[in-house]
Amino acid sequence: MPEPTHCIFCKIARGTIPAIKVHEDGATLTFMDIQPASPGHALVIPRTHAANLFEIAEDELSVVARTVQRIARAMRKALAPDGIRIVQTNGAAAGQSVFHYHVHLIPMQDGQRIGAHGRAPADPEQLETLAMKVREALED
């Protein structure tokens, strides 16, 4: 499927819009959510555009799932959350606001309010610090 010119995640994947990257390879990109539900909230996307779970190719879905697992393990090591929420929504009725397949990884602490997004933009320096910790854990 061709990339829509208006897709913000396609623009991030192409590098035409900046993002605080955690990890990238030829098929996926992981970057920090700028309005995080909790510190360390990151998104994993395929580089190829697919609007949702129903449109993504099975082989690309498998690659995204492997990246999600790898990032979740690094988050657990680097950030020591009590748990990690893995969220993936399909369609506006389900809460999807960017129509490019993506998976949220949200580190959670006991007693923390559960939400898919935060209420305010995060401090970019804090995002970079958290991304660096997860990147370092990926390298170990």
- Tell me whether residue 102 is one of the annotated catalytic residues: yes
CA distance 43 to 75: 12
What's the confidence (pLDDT) of residue 64? 98
What's the confidence (pLDDT) of residue 85? 95
42-91, pLDDT tens digit by residue? 999 999 999 999 999 999 999 999 999 999 999 999 999 999 999 999 99
pLDDT of 116 higher than 70? no
What's the confidence (pLDDT) of residue 87? 96
Out of 41, 49, 100, 102, the active site residue is 102
pLDDT of 93 higher than 70? yes
What is the pTM for the complete model shown?
0.94
Question: Per CATH, which fold does 8-139 belong to?
Answer: HIT family, subunit A (3.30.428)
